Structure 1
Amino acid sequence: MEPISWHRERWVLAGTAMLITLLSGFIMPAWASAMRPSPLPEVHALLPLAVPEITPRIAAPEQDNWQSVRVQPGQTLSDIFADRGLGMSDLQTVMDAAGGASSALHSIRPGQEFDFLQNNDGSLDGFRFEKDAASRATIRLDGVQPTLAIQKRDMDVREQIAHGVISSSLYASAGQAGMDAAMVGKLADLFKYDIDFVQDLRAGDRFTVIYDDVYRDGQRYGHGDIIAAEFVNQGKRYTAYRFKKANGEFGWFSEDGRPIEKSFLRIPVDFTRISSKFTTARMHPVLGRMRAHKGVDYAAPSGTPIHAAGDGVIKYHGWERGYGNFVVVQHSKTISTAYGHMSRFVKGQHVGEHVRQGEVIGYVGMTGLATGPHLHYEFRVNGVQRNPQTVTLPQPQPLPAAQLAKFKAQVVKPQLARLEALDSRMRLARSDKPTRNSDS
């Protein structure tokens, strides 16, 4: 019996121990929680932060779609408007809105540009044009009333220097030196009183030119004026300097202060060749017999303008036997010039009318006794024909003494030094070039 009793006792002890363990599991956590200190309340601090400003996104304005139109030869402004689908009422609106600037629209030239701003339906919203070289006019028609704005352009003059040696032609050599055709024409105009650029040029002739180029808004706009120039033709040296005269006008003068512009043009027409020279005996191409030819024939295409050789009064204007359409200009008591074989005269000119040097008095033709289009030109002294190519032309008077001193000190001295220095450097550069070895 004893073993069983012991066994029961052990079970009682084990149950008691298990009961204590279970009670401890519930009592201890509760006691631990009761003994834990109360938590402190959380403290939140607000710190100021610099927030960058947010710029609202603004949509970029739409760019105006201007369309440029370049004037073609023979076009009028009304033609250009019609080509854009616009009528005369649109053109009149533009002219009215342009006000004083409209004078720039009265005479347009080939190559000139106009800008049009048109709506989707083709209606005109804006028109732009050059008021003058230094300003642009913009007319807006998309508001309640037309508006006109004048914008000044940034004009800049830049000095250029060119030096060349004639090898084939003036235009070819000047082009190689960086001069454009317009500036070459100005150079030829300066010296045309002394040099025949068709007959007189020789290989080795040389020139040096100081001139201005005009820039607008940073882009080359065109040519300016020649400031100083030197031309050596067949060993003879000619010079031209730009100088402001006492009356405020600019002119070109040689080193001795005489105007480059002589009293007479040596040749009054742009010609291709001399078809007949001044001579006391020539076989006449029409009459077939020997006859004096007391003038110079300059062959040129029909319609080429003929210019008055100097200031004067028209003494004869009409048909003359042998000469065809014929004009005589009296320049002084002793000197006159005659022009024959014209195809037609200038409308409105008549006997007794004053003409200026270079003014057009007729056009090349072959009226009268002529076998081809040319100008027959005579230079007469006291009614006697003289050879226009060799006759001594009257020298113009030099500048007055006070202006002459100023001209030589302020213009000739500094510019001449520049011309001579450049010419010397160019000749030295040419002499330093290595010669080509014929054996190589």
Structure 2
Amino acid sequence: MDSIAKARQILRRYYPRNHVWLASALGLALILVVTLVPEHFEDRERLRRDNAIASIDASLSSDAVSPFVGPLPLTDAVIDGAALDSRVNWHSLTVQPGDNLSAIFGKVGLSAQELYRIINSSDEAGILNRLFPGYELSFHIPEPGLLEQLQVFVSPLEGFVFTRQDANYQVEPIQLQADILPVVKQGAIADSLFLAGQQAEIPASVIMGMADVFGGVIDFLMDPRSGDQFSIVYEEKYLNGEFIGTGDILGAQFINRGREHVAVRYETTQGDAGFFSPDGESMQKAFLRNPLDVFRISSNFNPNRRHPILNTIRAHRGTDYAAPTGTPIRATADGTVTWAARNGSFGKLVVIQHNGSFETKYAHLNDYAGGIKKGSRVQQGQIIGYVGSTGGATGPHLHYEFLVNGVHKDPRTIVDALPQAISLEPSEMPRFLEHASRILKRFNETKPDGRLLTFTNTPNQAAGSE
């Protein structure tokens, strides 16, 4: 008996006829799936790619479409660390910590000779030697090893495009315009200003900016109380409908212990921008109250303090601000750096000479900010160094001194005795009042306590302000 007959005999003996027919049908279906479906999938995928390429070609050939549309979208496809974007023969990546230009060019299949050629093409190409994490790079490589164009975005709005011309590259800047949307946010303090900002969904940078605006009139360590309220108008930036960051603070209001402080950003006819109260007085006081944003005072000015290390009565001629190592330190006023080096028990020290025979000292620094050296000009609020514990320090803190004509003064009280910053010129007031009324109108619509901020027609007077 041949093998086929034996198989039939076994099937008839152990399996009913209907089971045999069912198994045969399932086998036939499996064969159809294996042979026919892959072809269908391939055809559908090929059709999808052809349609996408045709759409891209049509877009690129249209004169109405600018080739500079911002940072390029990335897909899930990755080749050796570089992602393929939706355009034909483009490879995009985001610079990561530790990346270098040579490794990036290798990821997209470009040689060291091509790298040398592009970085020596012009002075503007120096941007490629100063890559920072977060930069977006997009390479147009029409054939392996051939770079036709490189787009470098240092921010969502700014960048450079390198385009091949014969054996060299032409460099042009990219400057995109964001859509600006003014927004109004409000908050009430229960624990701290920064927690209140988080609860109101206000970015930390905006809250820090508001603290800088009011830094000359409000001590944000000692003054804020539970129940204080604030409102702020600031810019949000959008590119192609996507949020990309915040812009300028346009106006802010802070009600501290029942007293209302208002600041409006204004650009003078000479092009100088600053914050002013409703009566035109600059919010930038002669000195900031504190050189740190986050801190606690560990030791006040005290001419009779017992020294913590020497255990003797020794005058403490400044204020100690305890803060984590690395906390940024700000210059409390404009001035010139006269010392930026180690100085005995002060450790790393910065000394700034200000107008009017004023001098400030910042001691025990962990490090200096970039560009801070003897002779450097600094502006109020500029970061000059970082909290540390160098010299005769028992822990990380800033020792801050304030001198007037060489005599030490209490940094916590001297600010109130100093002259205030100048106000707007009378000729600026009509223009300022018109501008400020538009900003404060937004507060009128949303003030939590129902009071209104409105201007009279008389310069240097604003109804509803103190």
CA-atom RMSD in angstroms = 3.6
DSSP-derived class of the 1:262 partner? coil
Distance 1:142 1:211, change over 3 A: same
For residues 91 and 253 of structure 2, the distance between their equivalents in structure 1, rounded to whole angstroms, comes to 45
The match for 1:213 is: 236
The match for 1:172 is: 195
Percent of pairs identical after alignment?
37
The match for 1:371 is: 394
1:115 has 2:138 as partner = yes
DSSP-derived class of the 2:440 partner? helix
Deviation at 1:351, TM superposition (A): 5.1
For residues 265 and 214 of structure 2, the distance between their equivalents in structure 1, rounded to whole angstroms, comes to 13
For residues 214 and 253 of structure 1, the distance between their equivalents in structure 2, rounded to whole angstroms, comes to 24
8 Å CA contact 1:242, 1:250 repeated in 2: yes
8 Å CA contact 2:230, 2:252 repeated in 1: yes
8 Å CA contact 1:153, 1:217 repeated in 2: no
Deviation at 1:137, TM superposition (A): 5.3
Deviation at 1:100, TM superposition (A): 7.8
The match for 1:158 is: 181
Deviations 1:364-415 (A, max 9, x none): 332333211211101122322222122223200101111123212x123333
Q: 2:298 aligns with which of 252, 275, 285?
A: 275
For residues 340 and 415 of structure 1, the distance between their equivalents in structure 2, rounded to whole angstroms, comes to 41
For residues 404 and 185 of structure 1, the distance between their equivalents in structure 2, rounded to whole angstroms, comes to 28
Distance 1:421 1:151, change over 3 A: closer
Q: 1:299 aligns with which of 307, 322, 331?
A: 322
8 Å CA contact 2:109, 2:144 repeated in 1: no
For residues 177 and 350 of structure 2, the distance between their equivalents in structure 1, rounded to whole angstroms, comes to 48
Q: 1:404 aligns with which of 423, 429, 436?
A: 429
Distance 1:242 1:360, change over 3 A: closer
Deviation at 1:101, TM superposition (A): 6.2
The match for 2:227 is: 204
For residues 103 and 176 of structure 1, the distance between their equivalents in structure 2, rounded to whole angstroms, comes to 43
Unaligned runs of 5+ in 2: 1-49, 58-86, 453-466
Task: Compare 395-404 and 70-79 and name the one that shifted more.
Answer: 70-79
1:73 has 2:97 as partner = yes
Deviations 1:256-275 (A, max 9, x none): 21222222222223443222
1:423 has 2:447 as partner = yes
Query: What does residue range 35-74 of structure 1 map to in structure 2 within 5 Å?
Result: 60=54, 63-74=87-98
Deviation at 1:309, TM superposition (A): 2.1
The match for 2:152 is: 129
DSSP-derived class of the 1:232 partner? strand
Distance 1:131 1:74, change over 3 A: closer
* Number of residue equivalences: 370
Letter in 2 for 1:246: T
8 Å CA contact 1:104, 1:131 repeated in 2: no
8 Å CA contact 2:117, 2:168 repeated in 1: no
For residues 171 and 332 of structure 2, the distance between their equivalents in structure 1, rounded to whole angstroms, comes to 46
For residues 345 and 206 of structure 2, the distance between their equivalents in structure 1, rounded to whole angstroms, comes to 40
The match for 1:183 is: 206
Q: 1:258 aligns with which of 272, 278, 281?
A: 281
Distance 1:65 1:174, change over 3 A: farther
Task: Compare 72-81 and 153-162 and name the one that shifted more.
Answer: 72-81
Distance 1:171 1:81, change over 3 A: farther
For residues 442 and 258 of structure 2, the distance between their equivalents in structure 1, rounded to whole angstroms, comes to 20
8 Å CA contact 1:94, 1:127 repeated in 2: no
For residues 415 and 355 of structure 1, the distance between their equivalents in structure 2, rounded to whole angstroms, comes to 31
Deviation at 1:297, TM superposition (A): 0.5
The match for 1:395 is: 420
Q: Calculate the TM-score normalised by the size of structure 1.
A: 0.71
DSSP-derived class of the 2:202 partner? coil
Deviations 1:79-123 (A, max 9, x none): 4324434344323444467x6864654543322211234467465
Q: Calculate the TM-score normalised by the size of structure 2.
A: 0.68
DSSP-derived class of the 1:390 partner? helix
The match for 1:330 is: 353
8 Å CA contact 1:313, 1:352 repeated in 2: yes
Unaligned runs of 5+ in 1: 1-56, 429-440
Distance 1:69 1:273, change over 3 A: same
8 Å CA contact 2:189, 2:225 repeated in 1: yes
Deviations 1:150-187 (A, max 9, x none): 87746311121111112233333223333223322322
Letter in 2 for 1:422: T
DSSP-derived class of the 2:282 partner? coil
